[in-house]
Amino acid sequence: MTEQTSADQQPQPARTGAAPTSSSAAAKVPDALRRRIPKAADLAPLMQFKAPKLPTARNRVAKANTIADLRAIAKRRTPKAAFDYTDGAAEEEITLTRARDSFKDLEFRPGVLRDVSTVNLGTDVLGASSALPFGIAPTGFTRMMQSEGEYAGSQAAQEAGIPYTLSTMGTASIEDVAAAAPNGRNWFQLYLWTDRDKSIELINRAAVAGYDTLMVTVDTSVAGARLRDVRNGMTIPPALTAKTVLDASYRPAWWFNFLTHEPLAFASLSRYSGTVADLINSMFDPTLTYQDLDWLREVWKGKLVVKGIQTVDDARKAVEHGADGIVLSNHGGRQLDRAPIPLHLLPEVAAELKGKTDIILDTGIMSGGDVVAALALGADFTLVGRAYLYGLMAGGRTGVDRTIELLATQAARTMQLLGVKNVAELNPEHVRLLG
Catalytic residue positions? 331
Peptide linkage before 237 cis (omega within 30 of 0): yes
Cβ of 212: how many Cβ atoms within 10 Å? Answer: 16
Which among 168, 177, 188 has a CA at the least distance from the CA of 149?
A: 177
Question: Which of left, alpha, beta for 38 (phi over 0: left; psi -120 to 50: alpha)?
Answer: beta
Pairing of strands 185-190, 213-217: parallel
Contact 172, 140 (CB under 8 A): no
| Alpha helical stretches, state H, 309-424 | 312-320, 342-353, 368-376, 386-418
Residue 426, φ and ψ in degrees, nearest 5: -70, 140
What sections of 53-211 are H helices per DSSP? 57-62, 67-77, 80-87, 94-104, 142-145, 149-160, 174-180, 196-208
How far is 237 from 229, CA to CA, in rounded Å? Answer: 13
Determine contact, residues 270/96, Cβ cutoff 8 Å.
no
Question: Alpha-carbon dihedral of residues 153, 159, 164, 167, nearest 10 degrees?
Answer: 30
